[in-house]
């Protein structure tokens, strides 16, 4: 019934836009597919796409595992000049050599929000979206990152990766610089329809970025939050700074985070510094250093981690990665081992 | 006539153009009222960082094929990057649900689309500009494009 309604609605909207555009020799009004950019139906401003990530992981002292880590679908629709609806539905760890999970357990709504374009430079976002802390969490999807493993300071144990609430963003261009400001409110306690137990109870935060020039972006993040999973819901403070430098396919990325906590999650701080160097034939060398001090996953730790690996990007939407992770005091939080993956936007 | 006068005025404004440089005109619908667009704003429109225009409507930026010489010259002039060097940027935008500008098959298609669509914005060589479009900006191409005036690509 609901499906029928949606089909009729899409058909009607398509008809309206076709009529409006009859005079114009539109480039492509019928749906068309482009590898890595999804199916676009310009007549109704709709795009369907997604990505997958398959990984082989062999941490020392653990069983090796081959899995379809992520299979995600994106849905974007602009029903009005000022409205953009976006949804990402993900099947996480659905198939692996350690078993096949039911689709019900694997499926989750990664993101679900409505953007209201309030002005050419301002947007109000309502719904479930990625927590704007640092760069990694905002671009954590496997085809966009250089390693299969994720830095500890960007893990959801340190801060929840999603916000349920509202965010206002504004961009200011001056000279050759761009200043971006985001301010957001979380009220997961009442708004989280998916009841993520690792989520926020509530929170308030902001992120400021400055594009210094075409190659350098610096950012700061601040968040005050309470965790849903703790009986004693005390206030946590989180501060972060980040830096990205990119030029001629060379890249340097840095993030540092400090979190104080009055509950048993504990205080924690850490950083990572990652460098990317282009080699020949679309190969890239990657090295990363990580440091974490404090209570991570409820364990007091002072951990040093090194990651060294290669990535191959033979085509824009496709990336194949292999890396070796090692460290000091890392066995419980990020075990030493070999990690490889294949990721692709489709 | 107004369009031609605008083009001449713009040319006069850019009298310091080096001799080796060619021009690419940024164009909108003939009746559009966007008299003042800065290079940064044009960059933001073609990168889809700015989605709305001042009238509250959505910009419809258009591109030529990534291998088209005028697209390459436009990209180098505006972003200081070849079209393929922007693919990593468009990957990040795709993750946010934003896809690159529409691609039209030729300059002729670009001119026809812009001339009949409010809020469309594209580009073409001065020698191919018709009075059906409004020239809002001139970009100095780092590549020589004179040979492409022989025919409409």
Give the domains, in start order, of chain A with CATH numbers.
32-345 (2.40.160.10)
**Residue A70 with chain B: CB contacts under 8 Å:** none
A27 touches chain B (CB under 8 A): yes
- SS3 call for A311: strand
In 3D space, the residue among A286, A340, A282 whose CA is nearest the CA of residue A312 turns out to be: A282
Asked if A141 contacts B96 with a C-beta cutoff of 8 angstroms, the reply is no
| CATH tag, B2-149 | 3.40.190.10
Q: Any idea what DSSP says for residue A144?
A: G
A219 touches chain B (CB under 8 A): no
Domain boundaries in chain B?
A: 2-149
Number of CB pairs, chain A paired with chain B, less than 8 A apart: 79
Place of tokens 């990665």: A321
A99 touches chain B (CB under 8 A): no
Residue bearing the bigger pLDDT, A277 or A176? A277
The CA distance from B52 to the nearest CA of chain A, in Å, is: 5
Q: What is the mean pLDDT of chain A?
A: 88
A198 touches chain B (CB under 8 A): no
Residue by residue, pLDDT tens for chain B (153 residues) are: 444 444 444 443 444 444 444 799 999 999 887 767 889 999 999 999 999 998 889 999 999 999 999 999 999 999 999 999 999 999 999 999 999 999 999 999 999 999 999 899 999 999 999 999 999 999 998 888 888 886 555
Task: Sheet containing B133-141: give its strands across.
Answer: B102-103, B60-63, B120-124, B22-29, B133-141
What is the average pLDDT across A196-200?
72
A101-138 CB burial, b ≥16 within 10 A, e <16: beeeebeeebbbbebebeebbebebebbbbbbbbbbbb
User: For B116, which of A23, A76, A316 is closest by C-beta distance?
Assistant: A23
The CA distance from B78 to the nearest CA of chain A, in Å, is: 12
Residue bearing the bigger pLDDT, B72 or A95? B72
Radius of gyration of chain B (CA): 15
The CA distance from B11 to the nearest CA of chain A, in Å, is: 23
User: For A143, which of B52, B91, B103 is closest by C-beta distance?
Assistant: B91
A303 CB contacts (<8 Å, ≥6 apart)?
A152, A290, A291, A292, A293, A296, A327, A328, A329, A330, A333, A334
Out of A101-105, A224-228, B8-12, give the one with best mean pLDDT: A224-228
The CA distance from A208 to the nearest CA of chain B, in Å, is: 16
- Chain-chain contact of A38 with B99 (C-beta, under 8 angstroms): yes
Asked if A238 contacts A225 with a C-beta cutoff of 8 angstroms, the reply is yes
Whether the pLDDT of residue A164 is over 50: the answer is: yes
Q: What local confidence, expressed as pLDDT, does residue A296 receive?
A: 73
Place of tokens 């489709």: A346
Q: What's the rounded Cα separation, in Å, for the pair B34 and A143?
A: 38
Q: What are the residues facing A269 on neighbouring strands?
A: A258, A293
Q: Give the ipTM.
A: 0.87
User: For A345, which of B91, B105, B120 is closest by C-beta distance?
Assistant: B91
Chain centroid to CA B24: 7
Read off the tokens for B69: 């010489």
Read off the tokens for A84: 């953009």
What is the average pLDDT across A136-152?
96
Whether the pLDDT of residue A115 is over 90: the answer is: yes
In 3D space, the residue among A272, A274, A304 whose CA is nearest the CA of residue A287 turns out to be: A274
């Amino acid at each position: 019934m609901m499906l029928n309604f949606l089909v009729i609605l899409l058909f009607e909207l398509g008809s309206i836009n076709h009529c409006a555009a009859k005079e114009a020799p539109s480039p492509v009004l019928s749906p068309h597919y482009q590898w890595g950019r999804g199916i676009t139906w310009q007549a109704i401003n709709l795009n369907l796409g997604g990505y997958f990530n398959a990984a082989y992981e062999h941490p020392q002292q653990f069983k090796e595992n081959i899995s379809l880590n992520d299979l995600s679908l994106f849905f974007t629709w602009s029903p009005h000049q000022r409205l953009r609806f976006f949804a990402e539905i993900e099947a996480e760890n659905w198939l692996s050599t350690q078993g096949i999970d039911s689709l019900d357990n694997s499926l989750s709504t990664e993101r679900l929000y409505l953007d209201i374009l309030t002005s050419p430079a301002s947007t109000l976002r309502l719904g479930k979206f990625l927590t704007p802390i640092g760069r990694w969490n905002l671009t954590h999807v496997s085809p966009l990152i250089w390693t299969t493993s994720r830095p500890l300071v960007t893990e959801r144990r340190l801060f929840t990766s999603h916000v349920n609430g509202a965010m206002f963003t504004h961009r200011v261009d001056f000279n050759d610089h761009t200043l971006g400001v985001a301010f957001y409110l979380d009220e997961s306690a009442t708004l989280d329809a998916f009841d993520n137990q690792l989520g926020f109870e509530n929170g308030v935060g902001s992120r400021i970025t400055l594009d210094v020039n075409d190659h350098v972006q610096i950012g700061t993040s601040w968040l005050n939050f309470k965790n849903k999973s703790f009986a004693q819901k005390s206030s946590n403070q989180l501060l972060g700074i980040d830096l990205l430098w990119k030029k001629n396919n060379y890249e340097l990325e840095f993030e540092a985070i400090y979190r104080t906590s009055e509950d048993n999650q504990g205080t924690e701080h850490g950083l990572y510094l990652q460098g990317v160097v282009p080699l020949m034939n679309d190969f890239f060398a990657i090295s990363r250093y990580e440091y974490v001090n404090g209570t991570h996953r409820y364990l007091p730790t002072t951990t040093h981690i090194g990651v060294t690996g290669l990535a191959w990007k033979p085509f824009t939407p496709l990336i194949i990665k292999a890396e070796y992770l090692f460290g000091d005091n890392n066995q419980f939080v990020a075990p030493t081992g070999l990690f490889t993956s294949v990721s692709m936007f489709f | 006539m107004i369009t031609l006068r605008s083009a001449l005025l713009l040319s006069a404004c850019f009298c310091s153009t080096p001799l080796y440089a060619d021009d690419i005109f940024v164009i909108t619908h003939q009746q559009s009222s966007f008299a003042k667009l800065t290079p940064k704003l044009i960059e933001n429109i073609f990168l889809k960082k700015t989605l709305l225009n001042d009238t509250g409507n959505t910009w419809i930026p258009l591109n030529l094929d990534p291998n088209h010489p005028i697209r390459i010259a436009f990209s180098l002039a505006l972003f200081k990057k070849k079209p393929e060097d922007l693919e990593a940027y468009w990957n990040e935008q795709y993750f946010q649900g934003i896809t690159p500008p529409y691609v039209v098959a030729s300059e002729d298609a670009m001119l026809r689309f812009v001339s009949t669509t409010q809020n469309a914005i594209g580009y073409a060589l001065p020698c191919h500009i018709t009075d059906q479009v409004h020239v809002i900006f001139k970009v100095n191409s780092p590549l020589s494009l004179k040979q492409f005036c022989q025919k409409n690509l």
